[in-house]
Structure 1
């Protein structure tokens, strides 16, 4: 704000001086056009020269802040490395691996005022960049006695001489070091070491601050890993929940057709094998919608063999949605709920509709499964629509202790679906259930476009 006031004042002074000289002091007065040209030229010159003329050259502000001379001849603010690191990608965000550690050391070395930087786990060197890297080898045991001491104590170790460093190699150039522990929670998982080829000790506070920041990234990586394991467990649970009654009914249907319609029975067996092959072997948490769509149609073809004309299905699929990625085994359970609890409980049968769209503006994929079956009790619906967490909890209760077919409509594995969506998308998805006045049930799912 202060700089803007200075610049505005300077421009005002320029135009005042130009006016006085060209219109008052000069006889006859200059025409308007030359006067304006002089004023504009001087204004542009001041504006362009303003950063150096009024504020001083870039980097001279804050000269009262103490500086640290790097071993490479650069002068740096003590907090410059931490601030830079806070806005850059940290390789350790992917976990404590040799490759991530090496790239992190390369990133940190010019920031930490040290000749060498090392990252270890609790036993071995993961990366070492700088003097001594000929014997401080990645994958090998820690060569110094100082690093294991930092792991054992869980505290920063500062050494000021070669004996304190305790390197196993007699020719090691390292003479001083600061080694800080890396933690995940209260557990020490490794060290960050900054070494000098002189007795000048690296700045302890900076190394500790950097170690804390790296520890934060390691904790986030651990949380990501646990989150993926939890999502995998839920996916396995969902596979295990493939309705055994569905399998039993389909096998009965195949058996009944084996004598009268053997070709149709063989076709149903092939489709059943495709159904279970996809459910069991699909890897990862996301798949193209086209794959899930094929899986749904395989399931529907099996159910139509059992229900006959009582089950009608309508598909309304935007071609753009076919290449988008959606959570594995999410659409089929929703369709199965509609078939089993909506249409299966209705003597005259009905229609299930699957609609899918992509919205490029909001970058979302929308999936809508609806039926014109028996619908859902308003009290059960109110519980299910209380929120994402409640959807899963009440759905499980409805499935475990169903008091009616409508209550059972909460759905096969809906709790696992809701929890998987939470783990994959956080609060960036929407799962809603409604019962239109015309009857039936509608389930709508909106997820981020992938």
Structure 2
């Protein structure tokens, strides 16, 4: 038996003992059975109702009288859908305080960053205005000292407004790592602060969501930076060679020269203006075909291309500027150095069972040196870049046979898919190189 229940049983025994003593011993003549039982029952009911036992639970706010599981259920649900997952913005803070107000046992809830109130709901919203500086010194003190402050009365709250209805509060910091970025405040209109532990637990949950939002933002910035790097890596020698080809065609075949200029314009327009990180495969396919048509104008019959594209792939979404650099590697480091030229093959399939898109770029060119292939295989998930290799064109930082932006592509795929993709580079039987890419279906 629990201590609270045992104590209550002892109180009831004492009550009935007193009833018996008074009604049967001290009173003459003794009372009958019915009045005695009625008196004992009334006193027992009063003892049970007035006693904060383990059966009834301690008296307190109505939210605290609910079972722990019932109180934690909405908090856990709120944690899974917390608006601050998108970052510490005014709109996210407003939706968060509206969600938290009925859960935290407060009359008003506020979120502020280091400079201003981002959201405030409840009594006092007429002067605790969104966009303005915090009206209480408590918030600034919490952010500065990086610890929770419990305010038991209005004097401690120190609100600048003389008619503020708020009387008590718990204000706790919101942090991203070790950096305090704001504060969560839960206020009441009477001098009985909200439960500190509950407010701090919720602040910890909000801080975790803010950290995840910060990681998402950094990952997006990194992905954008790598996409910009891929755009910048469009080989200038490719441009010069194509322009030389167009100049020579202008003398012998002006119409073909004009068509090549239009294709070159389409090529750079797509590379520079493509917005976002994903595009339909059909768009990337058109981009690759445009690139290869320009290279075929330069290499002539030495460059042959074969396409094997499943029609289902055309509507899937793939990372932009990912396939073309793989094809450019095959041209530059496989076919260009082979006197008789060779064939490049582009194959794409959708696997509905594994929900993946598979892309293969292969060539029958000169192939990669074993040491370069080993280095790329070890570093394709973000390994160290080559230290001193250069391409045949004398471009530093790109391994001969190692490729245009392969490391950049791999790091970008890491940021977009994590571990949910595969990129492999293997020698082709009979000579050449095979690059296989498998990404989640989108």
TM-score class, shorter-chain normalisation, is: 0.7 to 0.9
SS of the residue corresponding to residue 435 of structure 2 reads strand
- Pairing partner for 1:192 from 178, 184, 190: 184
Residue matched to 1:17: none
Q: TM-score, normalised by structure 2?
A: 0.82
Residue matched to 2:342: 350
Residue matched to 1:51: none
SS of the residue corresponding to residue 389 of structure 1 reads coil
Aligned residues: 386
SS of the residue corresponding to residue 400 of structure 1 reads coil
8 Å contact kept, 1:81–1:112: no
**Structure 2 residues without counterparts, runs of 5 or longer:** 1-53
Residue matched to 1:443: 435
SS of the residue corresponding to residue 272 of structure 1 reads helix
Residue matched to 1:166: 158
C-alpha distance 220-382 of structure 1, shift in aligned 2 (>3 A): same
Tell me the alpha carbon deviations over residues 150-203 of structure 1, each in whole angstroms, 9 at most, x when there is no partner.
112211111111122222332222110000011111111100000011111111
1:382 shift after superposition: 2.4
**Structure 1 residues without counterparts, runs of 5 or longer:** 1-62
8 Å contact kept, 1:82–1:210: no
C-alpha distance 193-210 of structure 1, shift in aligned 2 (>3 A): same
SS of the residue corresponding to residue 133 of structure 1 reads coil
Residue matched to 1:258: 250
C-alpha distance 208-347 of structure 1, shift in aligned 2 (>3 A): same
SS of the residue corresponding to residue 126 of structure 1 reads strand
CA–CA separation in structure 1 for the residues paired with 2:207 and 2:64: 30
8 Å contact kept, 1:67–1:75: no
2:82 matched to 1:90?
yes
1:232 shift after superposition: 1.1
1:19-418 matches, cutoff 5 A: 69-70=60-61, 75=66, 77=68, 80=72, 84-85=76-77, 88-386=80-378, 388-389=380-381, 393=384, 396-397=386-387, 400=390, 408-418=400-410
8 Å contact kept, 2:364–2:428: no
CA–CA separation in structure 1 for the residues paired with 2:403 and 2:140: 54
1:388 shift after superposition: 3.2
- Pairing partner for 2:423 from 423, 431, 439: 431
1:212 shift after superposition: 1.3
Q: CA RMSD in A?
A: 2.5
Moved more, 268-277 or 84-93: 84-93
Higher gyration radius (CA): 2
C-alpha distance 87-176 of structure 1, shift in aligned 2 (>3 A): closer
1:83 shift after superposition: 5.2
CA–CA separation in structure 1 for the residues paired with 2:112 and 2:87: 12
SS of the residue corresponding to residue 381 of structure 2 reads helix
Q: TM-score, normalised by structure 1?
A: 0.80
C-alpha distance 335-66 of structure 1, shift in aligned 2 (>3 A): farther
CA–CA separation in structure 2 for the residues paired with 1:138 and 1:276: 46
CA–CA separation in structure 1 for the residues paired with 2:393 and 2:239: 24
8 Å contact kept, 2:87–2:214: yes
C-alpha distance 335-67 of structure 1, shift in aligned 2 (>3 A): farther
CA–CA separation in structure 2 for the residues paired with 1:132 and 1:77: 30
C-alpha distance 241-313 of structure 1, shift in aligned 2 (>3 A): same
